[in-house]
Amino acid sequence: MHAMAAAQSDSSQALVLLCAGRTFIAGADITEFGKPPPAPLFEDVLERLETSKKPVVAAIHGMAPGGGFETALACEFRDALDEDNWQPAPSLERLAMAGKSFEKYHRVHP
């Protein structure tokens, strides 16, 4: 969140969301289910991405299920290496935690 705030006033013209490792963002940590959410709240992170003064690009590599899917949809642009790797989290039989996946998925895939 600090980096997003700083980037709003620097000389950059756009922001690129990159992730280290084999996946973009793998989604929720199921070991945290049923516990109080840690700060920052996921909904607040998505809001920050959606309201950025500068365009935000999700550079998607590997899988991006659940929360990763939702994070990608919160960005203004998405660049995926493989279009089959980002999707809702059907294996958990629920929508991603912030609840915007369904709404945004239909904006991208009417």
* Per-residue model confidence (pLDDT) at position 53: 95
Q: Which helix (H) or strand (E) holds 109?
A: none
47 secondary structure, DSSP code: H
Q: How many CA atoms lie less than 13 Å away from 37 in the CB half-sphere?
A: 10
CA dihedral over 56, 103, 41, 62, signed as positive or negative:
negative
10 within domain boundaries:
no
CATH at residue 55:
3.90.226.10
Cα–Cα distance for residue pair 105/11, rounded to 1 Å: 32
State the residue range of the domain holding 24.
Answer: 15-29+36-108
Overall domain count for the chain: 1
- Averaged pLDDT, groups of 10, the chain, 110 residues long: 91 94 82 87 91 94 83 90 58 50 51
* Per-residue model confidence (pLDDT) at position 93: 43
4 within domain boundaries:
no
Q: How far is residue 93 CA from its own chain's centroid? A: 19
For the full predicted model, state whether its pTM sits above 0.85.
Answer: no
Peptide linkage before 40 cis (omega within 30 of 0)? yes
* Per-residue model confidence (pLDDT) at position 83: 59
Reduced to 3 states, what is the DSSP secondary structure of residue 65?
strand
8 within domain boundaries:
no
